[in-house]
Amino acid sequence: MRSLALVLLLLGVGVAQKPQVVVGTGGVGGVYFYYGTALAEILSKSGVAQAQAIQSGGSIENLLLLRDRTDPNRNLYYCGTVLPDAALMAFLGEERFQGKPSPVRILFTMYPNYFHVVATEDSGIRVLQDLKGKRVSTEVPGGIIEYEARILMSAAVPGFDPRTYFSKWERVRVAESAQMLSEGTLDAFFWSGGLPTGSLLELSGSLARKGKRLSLVPLPPQSTPVQVLMRRFPGVVDTGVIPRAIYNTRFDTPTVTFWNVFVCPASLPDDLAYAMVKAIFENLPTLHAAVAPARDTTLENAVRSRAGRVPYHEGAVRYFREKGVWR
């Protein structure tokens, strides 16, 4: 039988190739990178697919890859870790997806992201308006974090333009932003990630060794910037608190939160979607051990985005129905 299979393989017939799944993540230092890498390892080890994780610019890039690189004829599917507001924009064909929506489907809801405006206590930055004349990074160009940052800043500062409002406008990944702030070449940066984010833990430690302290700009629920962001993405944005113990800040910090989702294309076969979700949720201890925010990835939380406008994949729904959490 092995000889026959080898002959058929050499002839290019009779042997089905395993699906290839590429998991778009984010930059090194952010939770997406480690979470997505863990997902790919689970999928590969379970034998469900040939899966690999790739570093990317985050949500928007992952959704563009899903739309433009998926090729069912080659059994190739791009999936990714994304923020729900980015998934909604892609599904509706807005902003970067204008005129060409992304055929995105949710496999499961992952964990909540917390929006961070990171500075140091001695910077004098207490509110968003204090960023005037400061050296600030808004994350990668064209990414969803930069988009969210612009909405918040525009609501706080009428006529906001980062090119003139900041003394220096950087657009770099979280790991680089954290290093620059530690070295004193950056005053503040915007970030959205799970708790804790590794780069910020390292930053808090490096600042403490220099006698300094990390601080986070509060975004109170009733403030105008938060209300504007919530109106822009109804049903997607929530509010929460970053406890002071997470990064050794002096106070708990109110902020906005988003429940991240793991998405794949609508063209992903139902049986494959089912098998992928099954493999992941049968290996939750492995995922939880790999990255701290994954503790919120549970069967109950997996379906919490079902009331949103971005649909779940039918293969995933079948699994969740079997488990009794999709009612």
d(CA 33, CA 51): 14
Q: What would the mean pLDDT of 48-62 be, rounded to a whole number?
A: 96
What is the structure's pLDDT at 14?
A: 40
Q: What would the mean pLDDT of 199-211 be, rounded to a whole number?
A: 97
Mean pLDDT of the chain: 94
| Tokens, residue 203 | 């930053």
Of 322, 274, 293, 286, nearest in space to 108 by CA: 274
d(CA 37, CA 291): 10
pLDDT tier at 284, thresholds 50, 70, 90: very high
What is the structure's pLDDT at 327?
A: 87
Q: What would the mean pLDDT of 147-155 be, rounded to a whole number?
A: 97
pLDDT in tens, 101-136: 999 999 999 999 999 999 999 999 999 999 999 999
pTM for the predicted model, two decimal places:
0.86
What is the structure's pLDDT at 235?
A: 84
pLDDT tier at 301, thresholds 50, 70, 90: very high
Count CB atoms within 10 A of the CB of residue 63.
29
Sole residue written with tokens 């610019």: 57
What is the structure's pLDDT at 277?
A: 98
Asked if 303 and 277 touch (Cβ cutoff 8 Å), the reply is no
pLDDT in tens, 208-228: 999 999 999 999 999 999 999
CA-derived radius of gyration, the chain? 21
Whether the bond into 285 is cis, omega within 30 of 0: no
What is the structure's pLDDT at 16?
A: 55
d(CA 103, CA 90): 8
CA distances from 255 to 148, 164, 168, 191 (A): 13, 26, 25, 12
* DSSP 8-state symbol, 312: B
pLDDT tier at 12, thresholds 50, 70, 90: very low
Q: Alpha-carbon torsion 94, 32, 110, 296, what sign?
A: negative
Asked if 246 and 69 touch (Cβ cutoff 8 Å), the reply is no
**Phi, psi (deg, nearest 5) at residue 44:** -70, -45
d(CA 193, CA 115): 7
- Can you tell me whether residue 79 is helix, strand or coil? strand
Q: At what angle do helices 270-281 and 31-46 cross, to 10 degrees?
A: 110
Amino acid at 222: Q
Using left for φ > 0, alpha for ψ between -120 and 50, and beta otherwise, residue 295 falls in alpha
Task: Give 211: exposed, middle or buried? Use CB within 10 Å, 0-12, 13-18, 19+.
Answer: exposed
Specify the higher pLDDT residue, 298 or 7.
Answer: 298
On the question of pLDDT at 203 being above 50, the answer is: yes
The least confident of 11-15, 60-64, 165-169, 267-271 is 11-15
On the question of pLDDT at 10 being above 70, the answer is: no
What is the structure's pLDDT at 259?
A: 96
